[in-house]
Amino acid sequence: MSFAKDFSKAMSQAGTSQFQEVIRQELEYSMEVELDKILATAPQNEVEHTKKDLDGFKKLFHRFLQEKGPSVDWGKIQRPPEDSIQPYEKIKDRGLPVNITSVLNKLVVVKLNGGLGTSMGCKGPKSLIGVRNENTFLDLTVQQIEHLNKTYNTDVHLVLMNSFNTDEDTKKILQKYSHSRVKIYTFNQSRYPRINKESLLPIAKDVSYSGENTEAWYPPGHGDIYSSFYNSGLLDTLIGEGKEYIFVSNIDNLGATVDLYILNHLMNPPNGKRCEFVMEVTNKTRADVKGGTLTQYENKLRLVEIAQVPKAHVDEFKSVSKFKIFNTNNLWISLSAIKRLQEQNAIDMEIIVNPKTLDGGLNVIQLETAVGAAVKSFENSLGINVPRSRFLPVKTTSDLLLVMSNLYSLNAGSLTMSEKREFPTVPLVKLGSSFTKVQDYLRRFESIPDMLELDHLTVSGDVTFGKNVSLKGTVIIIANHGDRIDIPPGAVLENKIVSGNLRILDH
C-alpha cells in the first residue's frame, strides 16, 4: 500500500492521532532523504540557491501534512465591516498632494511574470505576446512607467518576478529597454519539485530541469513572492533606496496601472495610520463567481478562495448577493512590513493543492500559495472597491479580441475604454476552439471588427472575418462540423444569427 493511501486512511480513523503522527514523520523523513539526494546532484555554484528552494518546499510540505479538510470554518466567515472596504470614489475625492513626485519616488511596480503563453498556443513567456499595435504586455508596462517618470520627473522602478520558465527569454528581451527611462530589476521565484500523488515523493531524480526533467519542477504560485523577493536581496536594496511600497499585479492585467489616488491614500492616510496591505477588489458579475473574495474571519480581513470552501457551501460562495466583490490581484504592500513578517516567519498563506496529470499519464500534485492570501498577516489591511476598468485580464484570445478592438484606445501604454462607447460595460465574447491559439485567431481576422456597439459575440467552428466588419448588438456565428463561414469584407451584422455554410469565393 502506498504512503499516500496509508496516510489518508490513518487520517480518517478517529482516535489514531499517534498513528497519524508516525505516518507523518515517516513521510517527512522519506521526503528529507529524497531532497538530500536531489541536492547532492547540484553543481557547486547552484548549491546554495537550490538549498533555499528545497528548504522552502520542505516547510510547505510540512504544513501540507498538518492540514486536514477545508482550511476555513464556514461558520466563522462574516461579511467584512463597512469601513474595511472603501469605495474608490471616496479615496479619489481626497484629491492629490502637491508633492506627488516625492510620493511616487517611494513606489516600486512589481509585475508577476512567471507564466507561459501555452494556454494561448504560444511558446515562451506570456508577457511577450503582442496585444496591441505590435506592443507586448511587457512593452505596455514599460511605456506606462516611463510616461509616469517623465510626466512627474520621478524614478519609479519596475521589478519582474520571473520563474525558471520565463527568466532567460525575459532577460534577453530586456536589453531593448536599456535606453528607456525605467530602471528594471528581476528576481526569480522558487523552483519546487512536483510530487507523485500516490507516494507523495518528488518525481525529480536530480536538479536539472531540461529534457525529460522539465515536468518534474514547477513555480509554486505567486504567494512565493514574499520569500523569493526577500531571499534575492532586492527587498533590502529597495528599502535602502528609500522605497516604501510595492504595487503588485499580474502582467496580463492591462487595467493594473499605477493609481495616484490609491498611492496618496497609502502614503498620507486620513487617520494618520498607514495600511500595510491594500487589496483592490471590484464588483462581481456572473463571469467572476469563482473569484476569491474578501471576508472577515477571526477579526481579520481574509481572502477566501473557492478551493477552500467546503463543498456544501460552494453555491453560497458563488452567490453575487452575499459576496459582492472579488480580488483583482492588484495589491499595494509595505516593503518594511514584508521584511518584518518574513524575518518573523509570520506570513501565513493557505496551501493550494493543485493536481496535474503529466503527458505520460502520471498523476502529481503541486503545492502552491497565492499572494493575496497573506492579507491576514499584515496590520491595518484595507480593501478598495475599484472600477471594473482596473481589472482587464487577457487570459484567452476572446479577451485579446476585446483589447485589440476599437472598444479601447491606447495612450502611453494604458488602455482606456473609448468615449464613443455609449455604455461602460465590456461585451461578452466567446470564441470557439478554432480561435484558441493566437496564430489561428490572427489568421481568422483580416482586420479586427468594429465592436463599439457590440453586446455579445459567440463564434463557433470554422469561421473567418473579412476586413472592416462591424458587429452590433448580439451576434452568434456557428459553422457546423464540415461547414465554413466567411464573413464578407464590410459586412454589418446587427442582432444576427449566422449558421450553416457561407463561402465567399474570389472570381
Is 90 annotated in the active site?
no
- Annotated ligand binding at 49? The verdict is no
- Annotated ligand binding at 507? The verdict is no
In one-letter notation, the amino acid at residue 101 is T
| Helix, strand, coil distribution of the chain in percent, nearest 5 | 35, 25, 35
Q: CA–CA separation, 220 vs 3, rounded Å?
A: 23
Q: 381 CB contacts (<8 Å, ≥6 apart)?
A: 84, 275, 276, 277, 278, 279, 300, 301, 375
Q: 9 CB contacts (<8 Å, ≥6 apart)?
A: none
- Annotated ligand binding at 189? The verdict is yes
Q: Which of 256, 213, 506, 236 is nearest to 358 (CA)?
A: 213
Q: Which residue has the cell 520542505?
A: 58
Q: Which of 58, 395, 437, 496 is catalytic?
A: 395
At 106, phi and psi to the nearest 5?
-90, 0
Q: CA–CA separation, 430 vs 462, rounded Å?
A: 14
Which H, E and C letters describe 275-325, residue by residue? Answer: CCEEEEEEECCHHHCCCCEEEEECCEEEEECHHHCCHHHHHHHHCCCCCCE
- Annotated ligand binding at 252? The verdict is yes
Ramachandran class of 298: left when φ > 0, alpha when ψ lies in -120 to 50, beta otherwise: left
Q: CA–CA separation, 80 vs 84, rounded Å?
A: 6
User: In the Cβ-directed half-sphere of 364, how many Cα atoms lie within 13 Å?
Assistant: 21
What cell does 441 get?
Answer: 485567431
Q: Which residues pair with 474 in a beta bridge?
A: 456
| Beta carbons of 280 and 390 less than 8 angstroms apart | yes
- Annotated ligand binding at 240? The verdict is no
Which H, E and C letters describe 14-43, residue by residue? Answer: CCCHHHHHHHHHHHHHHHHHHHHHHHCCCC
| Beta carbons of 236 and 192 less than 8 angstroms apart | no
- Annotated ligand binding at 114? The verdict is no
DSSP strands (E only) in 163-299? 184-188, 192-193, 195-196, 217-218, 245-250, 277-283, 293-297
Which residues are annotated as catalytic?
395
Provide the annotated binding site for substrate: 222
- Which residues are annotated as part of the binding site for UTP? 126, 189, 221, 252, 395
- Residues at the binding site are 126, 189, 221-222, 252, 395
